[in-house]
Amino acid sequence: MAKNSYKICLLPGDGIGPEIIVEAVKVLDTIGGLYDTDFFYTEALLGGIAIDATGTALPAETLEIAKGSDAVLLAAVGGPKWDTTDPTKPRPEQGLLGIRKELGLYANLRPVKIFGALKDSSSLKSENVEGVDMVIVRELTGGLYFGKRDRMYDVPGAGIDGAAGMRAYDTLEYSEYEIERIVRHAFEAARGRRRKVHSVDKANVLESSRLWREIAHRVAADYPDVEIIDQLVDNTAMQLVRWPAQFDVIVTENMFGDILSDEASMLTGSLGMLASASLGDGTALYEPSHGSAPDIASLGIANPIAQILSVELMLRYSFGMDEAADALAKAVEDVLDEGWRTKDIADASTLPQKTVGTTAMGDLIVEKLKA
């Protein structure tokens, strides 16, 4: 049988990005050797580094390379060097939003799982996070973040004390097809898990949510083996800290998903542990949930695990290499069980000799994979 081969576009970006993506490549090379697969990499510019080199956060060449690849592995973009409120200046996040839009990545999957060895790092009491293992499926290209918006000046009565002033609006719009395809992703994901979908909306107030709920139930009819639970977003925000283990798959619109997934990320104790997959109809993109951590860039202490776990998602969703993905997840778990920690996940019980830097953590995971 011919050897499988995949083209991967690497986007190291800014800050700690280049340091952590190297560890992910090390892991991919190891997996390639173990599972008889070739991975070919092409590195491209995105974010601040792209602004410096080309004047734009998403150069056309980067987009071309990404579109011609089987998957994209992104680290993170941004940093104080490029922070600006001047709307005429390019910003690193434009690269991020731009590539998601251009690749048609409408579904963001963010797994939130408690590693047994890290349950004391959670911001909740360890007994409250026992068994947490969920996936948040967030709609990524619609809703408030992409709707019609404007700011108006000199609007009569909009200022202080009845004077003329400024007024702004954003609009939350969803079409039937946008809801249908994202909810279907959630139900498909639930089939490979515990078969429970919480469809989160604000149907008691918003018309777009009432449409969401109607379509969600229409899709649910095709999945009689999966339970659907409607939940209002304010209740979900509360349930995530009250009893997070109740959730298997949560599906929701863009802004609700943005907020809920950041809330859920705190359950695990460190942003350095969370990966995400952005899927559409073409090339998918995988990235850690954290930013470019400019405060620790170049110190060699960044946690590479979220980046490495985004490789796990890539193996699963883009290459159908479930066995390799399971082996990688287990390798990470075993390294943590043995007490190895990067600084961000170390605590008072961590042995000083088991507190390691970025490269050593990558090496430990590679060694476990080979064992």
Q: Using CB under 6 A, list all residues that contact ligand NAD.
A: 16, 76-79, 93, 96, 271-272, 287, 290-296, 302-303, 306, 344
- Smallest separation (angstroms) from ligand NAD to the CB of 292: 4
d(CA 107, CA 64): 21
CB-wise, 300 or 339, nearer to ligand NAD?
300
CB-wise, 79 or 244, nearer to ligand NAD?
79
Asked if 35 is an active-site residue, the reply is no
- Smallest separation (angstroms) from ligand NAD to the CB of 308: 10
d(CA 160, CA 152): 15
Annotated catalytic residue: which of 26, 113, 119, 202?
202
Distances (CA, A) of 350 to 243, 316, 336, 345: 28, 32, 11, 9
CB-wise, 25 or 77, nearer to ligand NAD?
77
Asked if 145 is an active-site residue, the reply is yes
- Smallest separation (angstroms) from ligand NAD to the CB of 237: 20
DSSP summary character for residue 65: H
Asked if 14 is an active-site residue, the reply is no
- Smallest separation (angstroms) from ligand NAD to the CB of 213: 30
CB-wise, 325 or 361, nearer to ligand NAD?
361
> How far from chain centre, in Å, is Cα 247?
18
Rounded to 5°, angle at Cα 356 from 351 and 361 = 125
Asked if 262 is an active-site residue, the reply is yes
DSSP 160-201: GGG--EEEEEE-----HHHHHHHHHHHHHHHHTTTSEEEEEE
- Smallest separation (angstroms) from ligand NAD to the CB of 288: 6
- Smallest separation (angstroms) from ligand NAD to the CB of 274: 9
Token pair, residue 350, equals: 């961590």
Asked if 258 is an active-site residue, the reply is yes
Annotated catalytic residue: which of 113, 258, 344, 368?
258
Annotated catalytic residue: which of 70, 230, 262, 334?
262
Q: Which residues contact 271 (CB under 8 A, 6 or more apart)?
A: 265, 288, 289, 290, 306, 344
CB-wise, 11 or 186, nearer to ligand NAD?
11
Give which of 147, 114, 98 is closest to 278, Cα–Cα. 98
d(CA 39, CA 20): 18
Rounded to 5°, angle at Cα 24 from 23 and 26 = 65
Annotated catalytic residue: which of 145, 230, 334, 343?
145
Token pair, residue 208, equals: 């777009």
CB-wise, 77 or 211, nearer to ligand NAD?
77
Give which of 172, 204, 190 is closest to 250, Cα–Cα. 190
Which of the residues are catalytic? 145, 202, 234, 258, 262
